[in-house]
Amino acid sequence: MKLFVGLGNPGAKYARHRHNVGFMALERIAERQDIGPWRRRFQGETAEARFGNERVLLLKPTTYMNDSGQSVGEAQRFLKIPVSDVYVFHDEIDLAPGKVKVKAGGGNAGHNGLRSITAHIGNDYNRVRIGVGHPGVKDAVAYYVLHDFAKVEYAWLDPLLDAMADSVRFLAQGDSARFLSQVALSLRDVEEAEEEAPEPPRKEPPPRAKPHPAGERTAKRAGALAENLKKWLAGRGGKT
């Protein structure tokens, strides 16, 4: 059995934060793979899934980010899941937006959710690192990750979440390399489809209305009268 953990903070006001992209990933997996319902369990929300012969528990800790390890540790110990079969989906500021990497073990890079999990189950779990980019200034990191994705960012975020959800069966099989290659392939297909999409047809201006015959006659008559008036005035030497 595998344990897929999404990191984030519970509550509607955090739902679109960059720091909640781990929650978003698990929610997209459940949506596209028709997994559910979600149940309250292990100090979090859980949903059970099966990919072929592989059973997977999806877990969104509701302990808030800094105490995520309490929920993960409780689930991992109760279900007797090896630490090497735990996959944690989280935001990664050291990756460019739209990039995803999988790493077994390693440091926590200042991520409080990872630090808490390491304190409860050790360091040998897998990190599914979802790139959200860096604000450019270290002091701005906390503000940056604890605010909503900009609307323009959904142009890369939605296709990435879809690609991860559609490729997750390979992660359930323990094949991280195949998972990453399939995600990359799916994203390339999306980009090519966008490039090949025909441009919307140009709107032609509406045809100009033809002048009414009566209007034409009136205009001609007015022009003739004006010309005659000019001649008459010229004959009078310009006097009125």
Q: Which residues are catalytic?
A: 19
Tokens found for residue 35: 């997994």
Q: Is 188 in contact with 173 (CB distance < 8 Å)?
A: no
Report CA dihedral (83, 85, 90, 95) to the nearest 10 degrees: 100
Helix, strand, or coil here: 47? strand
Task: For the beta carbon of residue 172, count every other beta carbon within 10 angstroms.
Answer: 22
- Assess contact for 95 and 131: CB atoms under 8 A: yes
CB 160 within 8 A of CB 21: no
CA distance 116 to 44: 15
